[in-house]
Structure 1
């Protein structure tokens, strides 16, 4: 089994037909069918169920497709690294980002970077923090843009300045006379939280003497705000996240609690090769930072 066979197999799986897969690969159908047969013989499993008009992946085929996608991603990454012996003025930079930074903070940095390096393209991967850490460790991306807290043990990082958590609701009338909301103000209030900050929020509230009334947890800051917009409770999110929704009904106030603060961080795996493009991008990140470690 080699990379070429895996590319053939992925194309067959995506097209669902040998004929259309061969056309996409600019090759004849019989040699492609033969390659699929050889791959099945080598692995000792049936990868597809052949029908009169289309093929369907077997369970083994589905597993190989998933693995092959990952292998080719890593292969493409390796090729990019090996070709990157110039000054980093061309190429593709793969970055992973969580939603609360990807839609608010990252575009500004990419625009600034693009002005200086217009021939560098981007591949942006989105997901929650755990997903970004996973694909960063596996080598699919070079840089992750995440929010604290996270386990920093295997990473180097650059921090952006701290920002407060905010309370967001369609009705902030009872807090109108205050510049900040105290934790005590949120006692017994129905809270909607981004699961990423669940432990931090619970621990902070309990240290203040009460248990938070969490009625909803989400995996995305945007979803947290949309639930608040429905009027069922108060969302607790990083301040920058308010830009994720273009709502005219949502109001917010910062929470007066130093522990409930977060930072955007650019992270990369310690002692791993970084392309010149990635190094240039990290320099863009450093402007206005509160703490660097590289």
Structure 2
């Protein structure tokens, strides 16, 4: 059993067809089938059930899939670690960030890091928190910048300071703070990321909120508020994403709506030297 055979096996497990797996691996079908047969013979167990339309894993095949993924991850991590050891802190660091956090928390840290490690370049991927978690799981990025709450299973994290949610509106400054009750009859624009916790707070206050828009981007919520469409509920630090003299906000007096920025990474995956040094900026 070797690394190549495990890669072949995983491709078939993912594609569920020999033809699709062969195309993915850029090889012809006979050598692929031969390698799979050799793997089964060597291990002494049947790994695949070959049906008319698709291939399914046997129980032994399911176990091998788990172990093969672990072995290939470890192989890749070992390669990267030795490469880092040889080359030092250089290369490209891939970071994923939610839009409402990246533009606020990343530039200053990237500048400090670049001054210390000028041979490291950056690749930034943007998306909502769920997309950033997906990027991490797929190995597309090493570090994610997200907002709580999120499922912390499989991740390590560094939490930054807590911040309140604010009610953003167009026009003169009304009050420094406001309560959920004061939003009872107002048309609301909410960041879809926080729909669940916002709804829970209104339910607890026995209020049926008038939500006229849900969006995945804090900028969109702020722009709609600036246009006078309604009141946007966003994290306080997101207010600076849109420069508009007609926008004002009041801090929501509700601890349940406070959030935190978090730098997260996979718990059981190798972090490059560059990534480890970048986390020292937090």
- Please say whether Structure 1 and Structure 2 have the same fold, judged by a TM-score greater than 0.5: yes
- 1:247 offset after TM fit, Å? 1.4
Match of 2:195 among 186, 195, 198: 198
CA distance in 1, matches of 2:83, 2:265: 20
CA distance in 2, matches of 1:230, 1:141: 36
Query: Any idea what the Cα deviations from partners look like across 1:79-121, whole Å, max 9, x if unmatched?
Result: 7555211584212111000000111111111112112112111
Other-structure match for 1:112: 112
Q: 1:200 to 1:172 in 2, by over 3 A?
A: farther
8 Å Cα contact 1:95/1:142 also seen in 2: yes
- 1:227 offset after TM fit, Å? 1.2
8 Å Cα contact 2:154/2:268 also seen in 1: no
Q: Does 1:278 align with 2:262?
A: no
Report SS of the residue matched to 1:227.
helix
- The number of residues matched between the two structures is 215
Report SS of the residue matched to 1:278.
helix
Q: Does 1:211 align with 2:184?
A: no
TM-score, length of structure 1 as denominator length: 0.68
Match of 1:42 among 17, 28, 48: 28
CA distance in 1, matches of 2:241, 2:117: 27
CA distance in 2, matches of 1:245, 1:130: 23
Report SS of the residue matched to 1:134.
helix
CA distance in 2, matches of 1:284, 1:245: 26
CA distance in 2, matches of 1:87, 1:158: 27
Report SS of the residue matched to 2:262.
strand
Q: 1:272 to 1:127 in 2, by over 3 A?
A: same
8 Å Cα contact 2:172/2:246 also seen in 1: no
Other-structure match for 1:157: 157
Other-structure match for 2:147: 147
CA distance in 1, matches of 2:280, 2:254: 31
8 Å Cα contact 2:224/2:230 also seen in 1: yes
Other-structure match for 2:121: 121
Segments of 4+ moved more than 4 angstroms: 77-82
Report SS of the residue matched to 1:169.
strand
Other-structure match for 2:228: 231
CA distance in 2, matches of 1:264, 1:87: 32
Q: 1:125 to 1:253 in 2, by over 3 A?
A: same
Other-structure match for 1:222: 219
